[in-house]
Amino acid sequence: MKLKPFHLALALVGLALGVLLSVQFRVTRDTMNTPQISRVQTMAVKVNEARSERDRKQEQLDKLRADLDKIAGGAELGPFREDLKNARIEAGLSEVQGPGVEVTLNDSNTIAKPGENPNLYVLHDEDILRVLNELRAAGAEALAINGQRVLAISEIRCTGPTILINRNQRLTPPFIISAIGHQDNLANSLKMRGGVIETLQFWGIQVNVKKVSQVTIEPLSGGVSFDYAKPAAEGQKLQ
Amino acid sequence: MNKKSMYLSIGLITMILGIMLAIQFRTNRYIEQGVPADRAQELQVELSKLERDSRKLDREIEDLSYKLEQAKKGQLQAEAAVQDELKKARINAGLITVSGPGIEVVMDNPSNQSRRSSIFIIRDEDLLRVVNELRGAGAEAISINGRRLISTSEIRQAGSFININLERVEPPFQVLAIGSPDKLKSALEISGGLVDYFKDLGIEVKIQSHSSLTVPAYHKNLQFNYAKAVRKG
């Protein structure tokens, strides 16, 4: 057979195809079998399962509470109802709604000049603490960050660009702080001269306060439980 | 072989080659993006938190189911069940005096009066940071100079004083926190931590572990004028 130029071309193309195919197969197999990826996939499934299970339990619990309240609806139990309602709001067990404000915080757009500390332009846990504190001082009745209820035991911790709250719940920016209370008082307390917003804006941190007629704050998932603190015995002396 | 079929076959092969190349590139890119190294760890943290939440909920469900059963037996039992539920909510809300192991932190302004510029006195931010650190270390109940901190408690500078729960507190500040004494103590004393920081400012900090201390209840009336509980179930 006479060798024609196109035979050579075909052979070359065939070779290239073969190499590509084998590489392709190896790569695809590797991708599926990489322990990292398969582990993450299994874990993602597990996390989703755990989340839906938790939500299901939360629903069940809400229903049980409602049932108990219905029984408590009798006239004799009337006086407890108000106390129970208030205590549950304060303990973060109830979902609450009301007028209030939403404060959105995000890192600065300002680019640090050479030699400047870029840290100055980044949102810190302390900034969030100060905003929360200011809202509390202005009479906020319920607070949340990105939907996570802020309670008496809630810490705010900076870890890189994210913050941790309520025992390792990770939140990412932008941070939206919701507060229920008197709208004008809440907004003005932040906006006042020399106040928190002015300080933050000096560093270019983006702050936006919006009055919202209906803020909804979810209960703390899992609720609060104390392992160390026990109700004090009657008549025990205060330290 | 005529020319037409040759072109056709070469064309076909080239096309397949093209497709293969495209797939190859895509796969490669996918791998490069891959999964960040800490992704698995992050998921693990989330998973254990969800599981912890679930366990807490299980306990609550069990407890409530029992109460509900009791409550169905009669008026007296119903009253007891609701009272018990109320007590639990009040403990969690900080409306009941609690005691347990914990630490006592006493902070005072520097005694050197000549240096008494406002930088060197304890400000609201300092207390906020201490409280936040204690919360991060798992404190379950915290009070400052006898004022229990609940979810709505502010710690706020008002002139040269600090207000907590709308009441003036004055130095020395005595912070009581219930929780694991070791964890609480080390959270503050960690090198480069708050105690070090305050020492640099000349603020005295004394930390003492107690096997049992008492944190008073929030003593004002809780009133919600704006926040309304949403009915569920």
Say if A91 falls within a structural domain. Answer: no
Q: In terms of domains, do A31 and A142 share one?
A: no
SS3 at position A194: coil
Q: What is the mean pLDDT of residues A15-35?
A: 72
Interface test with B, best of A8, A23, A47 (most B CBs within 10 A): A47
Q: In terms of domains, do A172 and A64 share one?
A: no
Q: Do A54 and B16 touch (CB under 8 A)?
A: no
Dist. CA A143–CA B171, nearest whole Å = 29
Say if A174 falls within a structural domain. Answer: yes
From chain B, pick out residues whose CB is under 8 angstroms from the CB of A30.
31
More confident residue, B203 or A117: B203
> By the CB < 8 Å criterion, does A19 face chain B?
no
Say if A157 falls within a structural domain. Answer: yes
What SS3 string covers chain B? CCHHHHHHHHHHHHHHHHHHHHHHHHHHHHHHHCCCCCHHHHHHHHHHHHHHHHHHHHHHHHHHHHHHHHHHHCHHHHHHHHHHHHHHHHHHHCCCCEEEEEEEEEEECCCCHHHCCHHHCCCHHHHHHHHHHHHHCCCCEEEECCEECCCCCCEEEECCEEEECCEEECCCEEEEEECCHHHHHHHHHCCCCHHHHHHHHCCEEEEEEEEEEEECCCCCCCCCCCCEECCCC
pLDDT of A239 > 50? The answer is no
Q: Which residues span the domain enclosing A30?
A: 9-71
pLDDT in tens, chain B (233 residues): 577 887 888 788 888 878 877 777 766 655 554 455 567 777 888 888 888 888 888 888 898 888 888 888 877 887 788 888 888 888 888 899 999 999 999 998 876 655 555 567 888 888 999 999 999 999 999 999 999 999 989 999 888 889 999 899 988 899 999 999 999 999 999 888 889 888 888 888 999 999 999 999 998 888 888 988 886 54
Residue from the list A47, A168, A232 with its beta carbon closest to the beta carbon of B99: A232
Q: In terms of domains, do A147 and A208 share one?
A: yes
Q: Do B47 and A47 touch (CB under 8 A)?
A: yes
Q: Do A168 and B49 touch (CB under 8 A)?
A: yes
Residue from the list A36, A61, A92 with its beta carbon closest to the beta carbon of B60: A61
Say if A176 falls within a structural domain. Answer: yes
Interface test with B, best of A101, A228, A230 (most B CBs within 10 A): A228
- A43-58 pLDDT per residue, tens: 888 888 988 998 898 8
> By the CB < 8 Å criterion, does A181 face chain B?
yes
Contacts of A126 (CB under 8 A, 6+ apart): B125, B128, B129
Q: Do the beta carbons of residue A215 and residue A99 sit within 8 Å? A: yes
Percent of chain A with pLDDT over 90: 21
Q: In terms of domains, do B46 and B139 share one?
A: no
Say if A87 falls within a structural domain. Answer: no
Nearest residue of A to residue B167 by CA position?
Answer: A137
Q: Do A227 and B140 touch (CB under 8 A)?
A: yes
For the question of whether the overall pTM of this predicted structure is more than 0.90, the answer is no
Q: Taking each helix axis from N to C terminus, what angle separates A183-191 and A125-137, rounded to the nearest 10 degrees?
A: 130
Percent of chain A with pLDDT over 70: 86
For the complex shown, is ipTM > 0.90? no
Q: In terms of domains, do B49 and B118 share one?
A: no
Say if A76 falls within a structural domain. Answer: no
